[in-house]
Amino acid sequence: MKQVRYNYKTRVTFSDAIHSHFFLLRCTPQQNGYQQVIMEKCHVYPQENIRTATDSLGNKMYSGFIGDRHNYFEFEASGEVKLSDSYVLDEKLNRLYLYPSVYTRPDTAILELLNAASLNADDSVTDKVVKLSDALYRSLEYSPQTTDINTTAAQALKIGKGVCQDYTHLLISLCRSAGIAARYVAGLIEGEGYTHAWVEYYDKGYWRAIDPTHNRLIETGYIKLSHGRDYDDCSIERGVFSGIVQQQLEVQLTVGVNECQ
């Protein structure tokens, strides 16, 4: 097993003061059969009216309201998680993950890519998912700043470029089009200094995982924060406020891994 220490800090500086600021964060790991949360904490600045809850999909949330005028917003999540050697989640299927969502609705090009993957009826679910990931990996180039958080799977495939969010949306769209339940996962990854997204797919009563951006099945080394139908269900940070301002974003992330018994 692996014991992982992480520290994730985000600061948004505003060009002028804002107020009436509502925020929602999904920035701490889930407790599940793959990962055991040893310790976690989240600090928000300026701190006011912070609440914790669990959404309808099982994601832990921090939310709050800052009424006073302020020119920055910052949160810092840190903790320790013990990871299993095998990414397998024993969980009943929510059939919600079999159907298209706003970001994953297939178009003609996605269905053509599905056909090009040449799935066979006697392939295992994992074999099918690997074939779909291979087809996607050959069709999309990793290229930051060519898409944004509003880009759909169909739009990313048309551009031919994208980032982890786009790879994840596209593989989810392909899986669901092939009759395989799949969901979006947001989290952290060993050895990378930024947040990441990957896919969980349902196979005979268990959720297993694949990283389409790196085109590999996942065993361990990934810290799961949240999941949903697509990005919109499990974004790490979102908020609304009053004020017309420019925003400057700073992100610091470290993930340290040690082998443990």
Q: Per-residue pLDDT tens for 163-183?
A: 999 999 999 999 999 999 999
pLDDT of residue 1: 81
Q: Which domains does the chain have, with CATH numbers?
A: 2-84+236-259 (2.60.40.2250), 89-232 (3.10.620.30)
Nearest to 188 by CA among 2, 4, 52, 22: 4
Q: Per-residue pLDDT tens for 72-113?
A: 999 999 999 999 999 999 999 999 999 999 999 999 999 999
* pLDDT of residue 256 exceeding 90: no
* pLDDT of residue 234 exceeding 50: yes
pLDDT over 70 percentage in the chain: 98
Read out DSSP for 197-259?
Answer: EEEEEEETTEEEEEETTTTEE--SSEEEEEEESSHHHH-SEEEEEES---EEEEEEEEEEEEE
pLDDT of residue 259: 57
Q: What 3-state DSSP class applies to 78?
A: strand
Confidence of residue 258 (pLDDT cuts 50, 70, 90): low
Q: Per-residue pLDDT tens for 46-67?
A: 976 789 999 999 999 999 999 9
Confidence of residue 261 (pLDDT cuts 50, 70, 90): very low
Read out DSSP for 101-158?
Answer: -TTT---HHHHHHHHHT---TTS-HHHHHHHHHHHHHHH-EE-TTSS-TT--HHHHHH
Q: Per-residue pLDDT tens for 130-149?
A: 999 999 999 999 999 999 99
